[in-house]
Amino acid sequence: MATGDSPGESLSIEDVVAAVAAGRISERDAVVAISPMAVEAALHAQFDGGGMAIATGIGASPGAAVGQVYFDVEACLDAADRGELVILAADATSPADEIAMRLAEGIITAKGGIASHAAVVARGWGIPAVCGADMITFSAGLMHIGDEHDGGPTVAAGDTISIDGATGEILLGDLGAGGGGGSDALDTLLGWADDLRAGRVGIRANADSGADAAHARHLGAEGVGLCRTEHMFLGDRLPLVQNVILAANDAAAATALQALGEMQRTDFIDLLEAMDGLPVTIRLLDPPLHEFLPDATELAVAEATGNLGPEDAMLAAAVHQWCEQNPMLGTRGVRLAIVRDGLYRMQVKSLLAAIGERTDAGGTPIVGIMIPLVSDVAELRMVKTWIAEEIAAVEPTRLGQIEIGTMIETPRAALTSAQIAPHADFFSFGTNDLTQLTWGFSRDDVEARVISRYLDLGLIEANPFERLDRIGVGALVKSAIAAGRVANPELEIGVCGEHGGDPSSIEFFVGAGVDYVSCSPYRVPVARLALAQAILGLAEFA
């Protein structure tokens, strides 16, 4: 390698591609020379200049954004209709907010962190986000920095602000975001990275719609590793999910399921068409109830003030019945399906109908059905029986290739993987929940307050929701892979948590022997480079 072209120096993507073209370095050297973070910077807008941050949170989704800030869905929609660039700022977000999140230039939340609803959705859509800015409070159309009574900065609805989703900074005014979008040099570099990892470890995307899947494929994804089917029911579709959960009797549940199923069928067709010929893993519904039900506190206030109509009163009673102290550990995933009979059968019927339509149209659907939050093999066996019964009712020639697997996201599932593996075609590690449950950290509550303090004191080296904890969570992943493959040598292993897009975590997963990683579409290019570098690193020390 020529002087000045060593991997240790800070070279741009354009520099190394030019150096390969000039014959000064090899394609392998070029792949090693570039940091995955340089790929991330090339994909996302950056600020033209600097500024003074008025608040700082967790950089939850990279990129720079400028816009006029608003604090609720309706205000964001109205502003967008007026042609304004919008930044949504809120205490936290839920699926009910996603109609505004999708059109926002950037997102700010006072609560949550790298694995919160706002962060996961923002990364999936490539929207800059700052989460866990817990010095922010809201009142009467204002965003206060610090206590609203201590004279700190105040931002009004409609004010222009800038946010940096990499550093977590929130700044006043327009700092002039520009750049991003990739380049021909980046495409060339990633092509070399793909050649180096070919046949070793695959890269898939977490995508919940045909449009997201098509974009992920454009960015280099080789399939969908996680389709969160609950994300298909947002905005004006949200009441459909609520009707299923809150149905007063079997007849009401059946009616709600039928409406839900028809929408699922059309969404599945779009998704399978976008990824035709590539594997698509469909996760059956896993809605944490607090994200998909009306807010119990707001309903209680309305009831106390006499502003609750007869229909709302019935809704409040149902919400109260389903209210949980810790919904992330409550009636979600496979547990909800067992309690609300027919839910997963409906989804499977819709999926099989979509597969049949794609097959009839000349498509090549390759589908995995993934069962979430399994903790015991008995849960998996029960749901597999339901799926088998639905498959048996369909003409086999219309089904294409279907596999059935499970997420490994509870410590018990990891520890009992030898019992689960013989009944699964694949495992996919859901590292967000596995991290939460292994550490005993609430991923929505601890990042800004607890984890930031732990990092300051040196108690932990990195945020475990951002970089995989190799000693604890990683040990569970490694042991589950080893035991699972002994019990089922044909078992396919993937990762679909957000760690699948983190270079350090990817290095660990490659060493642990996964078959693929899956991440948000906009992190696919980062993962492509990180996978190649991890494979080269293993070869160097083999």
Query: Whole-angstrom Cα distance, residue 57 to residue 64?
Result: 14
- CA 494 to chain CA mean position, Å: 15
CB-CB neighbours of 370 under 10 Å: 27
Q: Where are the alpha helices (DSSP H) in 199-249?
A: 210-218, 238-246
More confident residue, 178 or 36: 36
Percent of the chain with pLDDT over 90: 68
- pLDDT tens by residue, 299-358: 777 777 777 777 667 667 767 777 777 877 888 899 989 987 788 999 999 999 999 999
What local confidence, expressed as pLDDT, does residue 1 receive?
42
- When the pLDDT of each residue in the chain is averaged and rounded to a whole number, the result is 90
**Closest alpha carbon to 129 in 100, 175, 170, 98:** 170
Give, as one character, the DSSP assignment of residue 228.
E
Percent of the chain with pLDDT over 70: 93
Q: Where are the alpha helices (DSSP H) in 305-376?
A: 310-322, 334-339, 343-360
C-alpha distances in angstroms, 373 versus 197, 287, 501?
Answer: 31, 11, 21
What are the tokens at 522?
A: 């906009």
Query: Whole-angstrom Cα distance, residue 420 to residue 404?
Result: 12
Its pTM stands at 0.87
- CA 387 to chain CA mean position, Å: 25
Tokens 């019935």, located at residue = 314
Q: Which of 175-189, 376-390, 487-501 has the lowest mean pLDDT?
A: 175-189
- pLDDT tens by residue, 132-170: 999 999 998 899 998 666 667 899 999 999 999 999 999
The answer to whether residue 4 scores a pLDDT higher than 50 is no
Query: Whole-angstrom Cα distance, residue 532 to residue 30?
Result: 11
**Closest alpha carbon to 455 in 50, 143, 168:** 168
Q: Which of 10-19, 26-35, 131-140, 144-153 has the lowest mean pLDDT?
A: 144-153
What is the pLDDT confidence band of residue 3, given thresholds at 50, 70 and 90?
A: very low
- pLDDT tens by residue, 46-76: 987 778 899 999 999 999 999 999 999 999 9
What local confidence, expressed as pLDDT, does residue 282 receive?
98
Q: Which of 4-8, 76-80, 110-114, 326-330 has the lowest mean pLDDT?
A: 4-8
What is the pLDDT confidence band of residue 540, given thresholds at 50, 70 and 90?
A: low
Q: Which of 44, 76, 117, 231 is catalytic?
A: 117
Query: Whole-angstrom Cα distance, residue 540 to residue 92?
Result: 45
- pLDDT tens by residue, 406-455: 999 999 999 999 999 999 999 999 999 999 999 999 877 888 789 989 99
The answer to whether residue 236 scores a pLDDT higher than 80 is no
What local confidence, expressed as pLDDT, does residue 299 receive?
72
Q: Is 496 a catalytic residue?
A: yes
What local confidence, expressed as pLDDT, does residue 361 receive?
95
Q: Which of 131, 227, 496, 519 is catalytic?
A: 496
* Class of residue 216 by CB neighbours under 10 A (exposed 0-12, middle 13-18, buried 19+): buried
The bridge status of strand 154-156 relative to strand 53-56 is: unpaired
